[in-house]
Structures are given as C-alpha cells and as structure tokens.
Chains A and B, each alone.
Chain A
Amino acid sequence: MQTILSIGADALAYGMVLFVISIGLSVTMGLMKVVNLAHGAFAMIGGYVASYVTQQMGLHFAVGTVAAVLFCVVLAFPMERLLFRRIYGAPELIQVLMTIGITFIIIGIANWLMGPTLKTIALPDSLRGPVDIGFRTIAAHKIFAAAVGGAVALGLWYLIERTSFGIKLRASVDDTAMAGALGIRTKIVYSVSFAIAIGLAALGGVVGAQLLPIEPYYALHYMVTFLVVVSVGGAGSIPGALVACLLLGAVKTTGSYLWPEFGNFFFYLAVIAIVSVFPNGLMGRAK
C-alpha cells in the first residue's frame, strides 16, 4: 500500500512537470497550427537563464524564474515577427524543417556560450531537500512543480475560455480573415499567444530542471516526449494535456518501478493504444 502511494506521488509529480513544459507546445500546435519543434529549445533557454541568474549572479530562485520567463518572452517577439510568422499556415514539412533548424542553432549557441556541462538552478532552502508527507518523503521541488502545474492549467483555461483575449484568439484561429474583418488585430493576437507559449516553455524548463537537467542537447532529448503529450492529449486542449500527462506519468513511473529493464516500452505502448482509440488525442477536436 505504501509503495502504491509512493509511486502515485512520483507519478503525479512527473506528470505535472511534463504538463508545465508541454502545455505551451499544445497551444502553438493546437491553436496556432504551428508544429514548433523548437519548443524544447526555449524551455532550455529558460533553464539556462535561471541557472545563470541563480548561480553566477547569486540571486534568488524567484528572480531567476521571472528573469527566465521574461527573457524568453522578449526573445519570442522578434523571433515570431521575423521567423515564425512566415510559416503560419505553411505545410507541416516546412514548419518542421524550419523549427528543427532553429533548434540546432540554439543548441550550437548554448554549447558555445554556456559550455557542454550540465547546469543546475540554485533552489531556495524552502524547496531544497525532502519533505515528509506522512507515508514517505518527497522532494519539496516536486510538490512545487505539481502546484505550478495546477496553477498553469487553471490560469490558461481561464485565459482561453473566459477572457476577451481568449475569444479573440479562438476567433483568429478558426477564421483569420473573418476575425480580421471584425476588427480583431490578428497579428498581435498571434504574437501575444506565441509569446505566452514560449513563456510557458521557459517556466517549464525552470520548474522541471530538477527532473530534466539543463544541458545543450536538452532541446533534442525531450522533443519526442513533448510531442507525445500533445498528440495523446489532443493539440490545443488543456484538460486533454493534463489528463495525458497524468496518465503517461503513471504508466511510466509504474513501469520503471516494476520492470525497469523494459525502459520506455510501456510508455510507448500506452501512447500507441491511446492514439489508436483516439486518433485526435484524448480531448482533441476532430479535424
């Protein structure tokens, strides 16, 4: 029983970390229809900024997190204007080629600027070390990551479903020309959504850095995992991504407890099973 509870806690934590990083990609792919393979690269940049701010400059973790998100958001605007705007509505192959190219460039720059060693983010004392939650001890930063995941899920759902910006975004995505005719400045809406998605990637990179350590090849190592979450959850669906992350987290954690030698076998088996039953993902909209 204690073991089951323990695995459950690990699964929840892993799933939530996955969620925070992947949800931005779900937004770009589902709502903006851009297959952004560079998403992980932005998460990595966020991680590097937070690492630099907390380790080199010795500032607090909170400052590091805010700096990481702001840096990526500020970086997102010119990149959206100069690069990504050209591939809206382009065939998927072109989007994939361009974004993977961007990924390689970012990896190269990261390697050159920050070096090939792995970087850590200094946690404040309150997030460091184990916390006793009754039946076991769990890392404080995992609880923090799960809480951030919950907050992001709620906030994003509210933004898209309940605010006027959300309405404009959904309108722009469904019919750009008509939305434009009705006076919605679609280009700005797209820029802002892209920046939000990138900001979420950065936040995920920072919060998840304890599980997915920051090094130059981060952007490639976890690309498949992020894409899997989006396709299992259904692109653009926040509850879908959340359910997918928790489900995949549970499968992966249980699998690696019971049969570690099988590796990712059960993870991908679950992915195949879910995608065959739900071709558009758990909560994706039919095309």
Chain B
Amino acid sequence: MRKLLQATAAIALMATAAGADTIKVGVVGPFSGSAALQGRNFQAGIEAWFALNGKTVGDHEIEIIYRDLPAADPAQSAALTQELVVGEGVQYLAGYYYTPDAMAAAPILEEANVPMVVFNAATSAIVNASPYVVRTSFTTWQTSTPMAAVARERGINKIITVVSDYGPGTDSETAFIKAFTDQGGEIVQSIRMPMSTTDFSPIMQRIKDSGAEAVFAFLPAGPQTLGFMQSYVENGLKESGVALLAPGDLTQESDLGALGPNAEGMLTTFHYAVSHDSPENKAFVEAATGWLGNANELSFPAVGAFDGMHVIAHMIEATGGEQDAAAAVESVKGLEWVSPRGPVSINPENRHITQNIYLREVAKEGESWINKEIQTFENQGDPGWVAP
C-alpha cells in the first residue's frame, strides 16, 4: 500500500514538474451554431486579456484548449469536460454559456481537483453545485432587481411582465416581481412566451388590454429581441407611452445596430455596457475589437471571459502553478479588482461576482447606437442566491 502511494506521489510530482511551464485551461462554449457570436465573444475576452497582460503568469505559460458546445446540452457538456480533464489534463475549466451545461460539469470538479470559472451561465444556483465554481458574469436576479427601483422612481404603479418561458426568463420574472411588489408596485399580469415565438403582435395586444403603465420584459439576447421590439413600436405601444423596461440582454451591443430607432430611449439594467467610460474599458474594447475585427460584434460575454482570465491568472499565481483547486478557489475569495465594467470583487460566501449594475438608455452616438449609462447601483450582490 505504501509503495503504491509512493509511486502515485512520484508520478503526480513528475506530472506537475513536467506541466510547470504550461498550464492548460479548458474553455467550453458555443463556438458554432446559432450562439456562435457569444462563443466568439468568449474568445475575444480571452485574447484581449492576453493582449494586455501577456500569456505568462510568473514562468507559467497559459494554454487555452477550446471545446465547442453549440447548444445547451448537459450530457455533451459533461462528456467534453471529462475529456478536457482526463484527456488534455487541464488545470482549470472555464466558459460555459448555458446554465444546464455548467450544472452538468460541476460534479466533476472536486474529484478532478479542478476549479471552474463560469464566464456566462447566469442562474443563481450554479455556485451551489460545487465549492470549486467561481463566476465572473452576472445572474439574471442581479441584473433584473434594480429595475424595480427604477420603475418606482419614475412613478410607475402597474406593470405587466412578459418573459420567455425558460430558466433565465422565469428567474427574471420572479426577481422583478419580488422587488417591485416589495416596493409597493402592482403586477397586473404575467405572461410567459414560448421560446419559439416570432410573431409578437398577440402579446402586444395582451399588454394593451391589460391596462399596465409599463412592461417588464426578458428575452434572450439574439434574433427574437428584434421582432419583439419592432412589434412593440408597430402596435403603437411606444407611442401611447407604455414604457418598456428590461435587463440588458435585450439590447446587447451586437444587436443594437439592427434594433436601431425602435429601441431608442429604452431603459435597461445590466452589468456591462461597451460604452462604459473608463481607461480600463477603453483598453479592453480596443484589444477585444482588434481580435474580433468588427467593433459591432463585441458584447457582454467578452467581459465575463476577460475577468474570468483575471481570476484564473490570480489562481495560478497564488498556487505557484501547482494543481490545487481548493487553494486556488480560496485565494480568489474576496479578490477585488477594477474590471472594464467598473470595480468588482468575488463574494467569499458564494464565489459570485459583486459588481455595479447600471441603468442605461439606448441612445445614438455619432452613427452608432449605444447603451448610455445614466445611473449606477453600486456593489450589487446576487439577490437570488440562497445558501445551500
């Protein structure tokens, strides 16, 4: 038995010694398929970080190994994650665009002795799935909650909620309703739309008939938002003064060009706007768009990936390149830094990022449309997180 232990220890030592100069980071995300743009933003965030900080931490070189997961597919996510750990011997796992993918990969972490840095997946419960999960994106609860205060400040009493019928949609609905009714508002109706909806006119008719003063909406970033916003304008809701309030997923920068004047003046709450005015963001945007080649493709997953790389680099430094997931995760608890989105920190309790949430207005700047930040809700945690 002792011999066996010694042998394993020796092999383990050799493995770490051999791997000391290159540290592999496995990144799982949608690099093809209908969400390929979000995957490209993961890459843009990582490449921007390399461009600004170099590919080495101390004398350890970081090597990224990408695995493509085009759609939410838990079984495939678990398989890819396992293959990265066993086949490629990665020391860190990162990426994960969809919640089910992150959930499916989480049980592997402890046994593999590998921390996971979630670049996007936004359901509060993910951090409870394993003590080795750290998240640098946002949660839908975090971005939706401040909108209730915004609505109340503007004297809105009656609201109808309209969300896409899937996890983040219902999260957003629950978060907003809780915050809004806590502050004395009234929810007149709640509608859940199927993900496949393309014709939103009947929904707009419902909104009109409900007598609400404003709509709180959540749809996933992408093609659907275009039809939704267009219907909102064409059915005369915008004209009749029914305000449209939403988290920033609806007005992600890569869709704004297409949404154009239909979204003008729309209020959203979110953690990151490409237009954020700070030297850190300027450097980030320049590096990320330099890699993307097209300034209009930059969107929020890139900043999640950029800060994720910051966290991973800190972990590598703290553990001296050794594979020690527990120490690595411990080292970033309470870590504070200035991200392109503003000052952020990792909450030691749930390993989720604490950050500013901004109220933004869609506005035209020169020839292009931007999310213009007009109000800041400082140091927002995740109100949706419940201790396990």
B236 at the interface (CB under 8 A from A): yes
Q: How far is the CA of A256 from the CA of B207 in the complex (A)?
A: 12
Stretch from B11-19, B134-142, B187-195 at the A interface:
B187-195
Q: How large is the interface on B (under 10, 10 to 19, 20 to 34, 35 or more residues)?
A: 35 or more
Give CA–CA (A279, B205) in the complex, Å: 35
Q: Which of B202, B257, B260 has the most CB of A within 10 A?
A: B202
Interface string of A103-121 (1 = CB under 8 A from B): 0000000010001111110
CA distance A119 to B257 in the complex (A): 9
Q: A118-B258, A129-B234, A264-B196 are in contact. List 20 more A-B contacts (CB 8 A).
A: A3-B209, A7-B205, A14-B199, A115-B294, A116-B37, A117-B258, A130-B234, A130-B235, A138-B235, A139-B235, A210-B227, A211-B199, A213-B258, A256-B199, A260-B193, A260-B194, A260-B202, A261-B192, A263-B196, A264-B194
Interface residues, chain B, with chain A CB atoms under 8 Å away: 33-34, 36-37, 40, 165, 191-199, 201-203, 205-206, 209, 222-223, 226-227, 230, 233-236, 239, 254-255, 257-258, 260, 294, 296-297
Size category, A interface: 35 or more
A137, B235: Cα distance in complex, Å: 6
12 A-B pairs within 8 Å (CB atoms) are namely A10-B201, A117-B37, A136-B235, A137-B234, A210-B230, A217-B34, A252-B199, A253-B201, A256-B197, A260-B194, A260-B206, A263-B196
Residues of chain A from 151 to 166 with CB closer than 8 A to chain B in the complex: none
Q: Bound complex: CA of A261 vs CA of B163, how far in Å? A: 10
**Residue from B40, B197, B199 whose CB has the most chain A CB atoms within 10 Å:** B199
Of B34, B201, B255, the residue contacting A216 (CB under 8 A) is B34
Q: Does A212 contact B (CB under 8 A)?
A: yes
Q: Is the CB of B202 within 8 A of A10?
A: yes
Per CB-CB distance, the 4 closest pairs between chain A and chain B, nearest first, are: A263-B194, A139-B234, A257-B202, A10-B201
Residues of A within 8 A of B196 (CB): 263-264
Is A6 interfacial (CB 8 A cutoff)? yes
Task: Select from chain A the residue with minimum beta-carbon distance to B240.
Answer: A137
A251 vs B364: C-alpha distance when bound (angstroms): 40
A212 and B198 contact, CB distance less than 8 A: yes
Chain A contacts of B194 at CB under 8 A?
Answer: 260-264
Count A-B contacts at CB 8 Å.
Answer: 107
Query: B257 contacts which chain A residues (CB < 8 A)?
Result: 117
Contact B37 A260 (CB under 8 A): no
Cα A253 to Cα B165 in complex, Å, equals 17
List the A side residues contacting B203 at CB < 8 Å: 256-257, 260
| Shortest Cβ distance from residue A16 to the other chain B in the assembled complex, whole angstroms | 12
Chain B interface main SS type: helix
In the complex, which residues of chain B have a beta carbon less than 8 angstroms from the beta carbon of A260? 191-194, 197, 202-203, 206
Task: Give the residues in chain A near B296, CB-CB below 8 Å.
Answer: 117
Pick the residue among A120, A142, A252, A262 that contacts B258 (CB under 8 A): A120
CB-defined contacts of B227 to chain A, threshold 8 Å: 210-211, 213
Q: Which residues of A contact B297 (CB under 8 A)?
A: 115, 117
Whether A211 pairs with B234 at a CB distance below 8 angstroms is no
Q: How far is the CB of B211 from chain A (nearest CB, A)?
A: 13
Complex Cα distance, B234 from A138, in Å, reads 6
Interface-central residue, B194, B239, B296, B297, by most chain A CB under 10 Å: B194
Across the interface, do A253 and B37 meet the contact criterion of CB distance under 8 Å?
A: no
Interface string of A242-272 (1 = CB under 8 A from B): 0000000000111011001111100000000
- Known contacts A213-B227, A215-B223; is-contact A256 B202 (Cβ 8 Å): yes
Contact of B222 among A7, A118, A136, A253 (CB under 8 A): A118
Question: Which B-chain residue is minimally distant from A13 (CB atoms)?
Answer: B201
Chain B residue at minimal CB-CB distance from A262: B194
Contact of B236 among A3, A119, A137, A211 (CB under 8 A): A137
> CA of A7 to CA of B235 in the docked complex: distance in angstroms?
12
Residues 1-35 of chain A, each 1 if its beta carbon lies under 8 Å from chain B, else 0: 00100110010011000000000000000000000
Q: Which of B40, B199, B223 contacts A118 (CB 8 A)?
A: B223
Chain A, residue nearest B258 (CB)? A120
Contact (Cβ within 8 A) B226 A118: yes
Cα of A117 to Cα of B198 in the assembled complex, Å:
17
Distance (whole angstroms) from the CB of A85 to the closest CB of chain B: 31
